[in-house]
């Protein structure tokens, strides 16, 4: 964090699909944390990085790339924007790691256990994000952060390690720093901000949630487990098994190639076609400007920390609540 020039050891998670755009990332960085632009269609991604840099006022800005959806244009945009760091999620292709590092950009990888940590470090990444199963969004972890973090720190052997999962307030950040993390990563706290691009009704569902669902229901094209707050789709299809129907999970496991071939710009069209009666749901999330009905036919990603947060605030206030 000191090398990057970050004042507060808190990183805003790069929520993809348009939730973590230039307004949110720029506001977090300007306030002293590390704002992160989440992946979206390449042109929109490049524009969001530029906006974040302008709003940050010279403070560092990071980017988050999801392996199944990353294209060369995304990496080009990170280099052109001279981002402070890139976090890779669900994999660390050597070609992307090498290109970013050649441009002087540190690369971190999200990992959920010691084996993933070792593999990422062997691939040459500069640091790790230890993710616990409490986290929202797509999960590479199957164990709580209290178990994942020590295992990842042991493998890291002095390389930087950030900790993600269940971060709601300053006490959580202090606890993770005391446990050896270099910074805490928070997603849901920054989802519940004015600057986040998520649909307002989505934010209200998260703020009112008293439970989350660890599921695979929204895995068409990206068959990775994820955590959401309940909506009409989870109530219909996840009652017997929170993971979703077994036949659906078998089908989703075969759709990874489809997801990698589908441009991110097509997610809005795909979400508009989703219907409660047919459980074929992709990873898209509802954004501001979408119909209100989209909140009950898409994924409402959120971590377990949602149960401890109940208001939507400016991003600078959210960071202040996390500052140790």
* pLDDT tens readout for residues 151-169: 999 999 999 999 999 999 9
| Mean pLDDT computed over 187-204 | 98
Domain 10-197+308-322 has CATH 3.40.47.10: no
Residue length of the chain: 324
Q: Count CB atoms within 10 A of the CB of residue 200.
A: 14
Of residues 273 and 79, the one with the higher pLDDT is 79
User: Do the beta carbons of residue 110 and residue 140 sit within 8 Å?
Assistant: yes
How does DSSP classify residue 64? E
Residue 251: partners with Cβ closer than 8 Å, 6 or more residues away: 220
Asked if residue 266 has pLDDT above 80, the reply is no
Residue 37 is given by DSSP the state: E
Q: Would you say residue 269 has pLDDT above 80?
A: no
CA dihedral 273, 277, 281, 285 (to 10 degrees): 70
Give the pLDDT band (50/70/90) at residue 107: very high
* Structural tokens at position 65: 């790339």
Where are the domains positioned within the chain? 10-197+308-322, 210-304
- Angstrom distance (rounded) from CA 3 to CA 9: 12
Show the tokens assigned to 276: 């409660």
Query: Can you tell me the distance from the alpha carbon of 26 to that of 223, in angstroms, rounded to the nearest whole number?
Result: 31
For residue 48, what pLDDT band results from cuts at 50, 70 and 90?
A: very high
Residue 165 confidence (pLDDT): 98
Neighbours of 243 (CB within 10 A): 17
The two tokens of residue 319 are 């960071």
Question: How many whole angstroms separate alpha carbon 297 and alpha carbon 276?
Answer: 7
Pairing of strands 107-111, 127-131: parallel
């Amino acid at each position: 964090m000191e090398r990057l020039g970050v004042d507060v050891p808190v990183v805003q998670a790069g929520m993809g699909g348009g939730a973590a755009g230039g307004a949110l990332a720029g506001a977090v960085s300007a306030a002293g944390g590390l704002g992160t632009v989440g992946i979206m269609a390449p042109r929109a991604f490049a524009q969001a990085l530029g906006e974040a840099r302008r709003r940050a006022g010279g403070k560092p800005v990071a980017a988050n790339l999801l392996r199944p959806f990353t294209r060369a244009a995304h990496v080009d945009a990170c280099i052109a924007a001279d981002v402070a760091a890139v976090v890779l999620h669900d994999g660390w292709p050597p070609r992307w790691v090498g290109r970013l590092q050649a441009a002087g950009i540190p690369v971190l990888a999200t990992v959920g256990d010691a084996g993933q940590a070792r593999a990422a470090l062997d691939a040459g990444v500069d640091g790790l994000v230890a993710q616990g199963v409490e986290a929202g969004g797509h999960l590479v972890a199957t164990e709580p952060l209290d178990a994942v973090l020590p295992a990842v720190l042991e493998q890291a052997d002095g390389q930087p390690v950030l900790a993600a999962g269940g971060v709601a307030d300053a006490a959580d950040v202090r606890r993770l720093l005391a446990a050896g993390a270099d910074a805490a990563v928070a997603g849901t706290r920054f989802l519940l901000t004015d600057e986040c691009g998520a649909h307002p009704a989505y934010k209200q569902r998260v703020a009112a949630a008293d439970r989350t669902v660890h599921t695979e229901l929204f895995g068409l094209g990206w068959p990775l487990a994820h955590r959401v707050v309940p909506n009409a789709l989870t109530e219909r299809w996840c009652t017997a098994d929170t993971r979703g129907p077994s036949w659906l999970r078998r089908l989703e496991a075969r759709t990874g190639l489809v997801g990698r071939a589908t441009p991110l710009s097509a997610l809005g069209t795909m979400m508009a076609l989703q219907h409660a009666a047919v459980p074929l749901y992709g990873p898209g999330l509802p954004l501001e400007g979408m119909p209100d009905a989209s909140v009950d036919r898409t994924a409402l990603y959120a971590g377990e920390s949602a149960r401890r947060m109940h208001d939507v605030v400016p991003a600078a206030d959210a960071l202040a609540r996390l500052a140790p």
